[in-house]
Structure 1
Amino acid sequence: MARMRWPMHTGHLEGIDNRLKVMKHMAYGYRDSSDFFLKIKAAFPGNP
Structure 2
Amino acid sequence: MLRTITLGSCVSVQGVVVGQLADGKVIVRVDERNFVGYPVPTVARAN
TM-score, normalised via structure 2 length: 0.21
Larger strand proportion of the pair:
2
- Tell me which of the two structures has the higher relative contact order, counting C-alpha pairs closer than 8 angstroms and 6 or more residues apart: 2
Structure with more of its chain in helix, by fraction: 1
Q: Looking at CA atoms only, which structure, 1 or 2, has the larger radius of gyration?
A: 1
